[in-house]
Amino acid sequence: MVLLLFRHPLIDNKFLFNINLRFKIMAKTQQYVLITGGTSGIGYELARLLAKDGYNLVIVARGQEELDRTAHELTLAYKIKVITLSKDLFDRKAAFEVYDFVKSKGIRIDILVNDAGQGQYGEFIHTDLERELSIIQLNIASLVVLTKLFLIEMVERKSGKILNLASIASKVPGPLQAVYHGTKAFVHSFTEAIRSEVKESGVVVTSLLPGATATDFFRKADMLRSKTVQDGKLGDPADVAMDGYNALMNGDDMVVSGFKNKVQIAMSNVMPDEMVADNMHKQQAPKEGMKK
C-alpha cells in the first residue's frame, strides 16, 4: 500500500477516501436515536432529519397506530430501522420501562431526544391540579430519568448526544401557562447544568428553545382561543427541528429557534420580570370575543 500511494497518489487518495466514507456510513447504520414524542410536530421532524442522515430510530409515543404509521413512512423513505414503543410517559414507571426495553433489545443509544411535553391553559387557581401534576411528571420527571440513565452510559464510553426540548417559555414567566413555563425553565436550567458537568467527557448536551410552533400542543393544552394562536404567526416545526439538529451536531449548548424569538428573549433579559410577565399575560390571553 505504501508503494501504491507513492506511485499513484491521486488515485489512491481517492480510493482511501471512498473506503473511509464507507466505514463512516457503516458505522452510522449501527447507531440508534431514541426520540420521545416522535410521531408528530417537532419530534417527528427531528426523527425525519435523523433518519435521512442514516440513523436508526427508537420512537416512543402513546399511540401505537401513530407509531406504526411513522415507522412505515420513515423506513420506506430512508431505508433505516425503526423500533416503536408505546409508552405513556405521564406514568411514573414508564421512563424506566423505556430504558429496560432498550437494554433488552441490546441497543446502544447514541443520541437521545427528549421531545415529549404538554401544557395546560388557564389561570392557575382554576386549572386541574391532577393534570398539572401529570404534566410535571411528563415534562420533568420522565425527562430526568431518561437523561440520567442514558447519560451515564454515554459518559462511560465518552460519546453520545442529548437534545432536550425546552422552549422560550423557559426564559419568561408564563401567566395562563404557569406550570408549563415552570417546567420548561427547569428543563433548560437542568440541561445547561449537566452539560457543564460532563463537558470534558465527549458527550454533547443541547437545549432547544422554540417559540410558539404549529403543532398539536395548543389543542392538547386547550389553548386554541389564545391570542398567541389566533393572532400570532406560528413557527414551522420543520424549521425548529433543523435548528435543533444543527445545534446538536455542532455541539452547541443551546439554540433559540427563530429570529422573532431571539429578539423576544433579548428584550426580556433587560426588562423587569414583572413587566415581562404582564406582557406575556396579554399575549396569551383569550382573543376578544372568544369564550374563556
30 contact partners, CB below 8 Å, separation of at least 6? 56
Place of cell 401534576: 133
Interstrand relation of 82-86 and 254-256 (parallel, antiparallel or unpaired): unpaired
CB count in 10 Å sphere of residue 40 = 18
CATH number corresponding to 22-284: 3.40.50.720
Report d(CA 149, CA 145) in Å as an integer: 6
Residue 6: the pLDDT is 43
Report d(CA 4, CA 107) in Å as an integer: 40
Are 40 and 116 in contact, with CB atoms under 8 Å apart? no
208 contact partners, CB below 8 Å, separation of at least 6? 42, 163, 164, 165, 166, 240, 243, 244, 247, 254, 255, 257
Residue 39: the pLDDT is 97
Residue 71: the pLDDT is 98
Residue 11: the pLDDT is 53
- CA nearest to 164, candidates 260, 267, 34, 269: 34
Both ends of the chain: CA-CA distance in Å? 76
Which element (helix H / strand E) includes 65?
helix 64-78
CB count in 10 Å sphere of residue 245 = 22
pLDDT values of the chain reduced to their tens digit, one per residue, 292 residues:
444 444 455 555 555 555 554 445 555 568 999 999 999 999 999 999 999 999 999 999 999 999 999 999 999 999 999 999 999 999 999 999 999 999 999 999 999 999 999 999 999 999 999 999 999 999 999 999 999 999 999 999 999 999 999 999 999 999 999 999 999 999 999 999 999 999 999 999 999 999 999 999 999 999 999 999 998 789 999 999 999 999 999 999 999 999 998 998 898 888 888 998 888 899 889 987 555 4
CB count in 10 Å sphere of residue 41 = 23
CB count in 10 Å sphere of residue 70 = 25
- CA nearest to 79, candidates 36, 44, 29: 29
* Residues with active-site annotation: 180
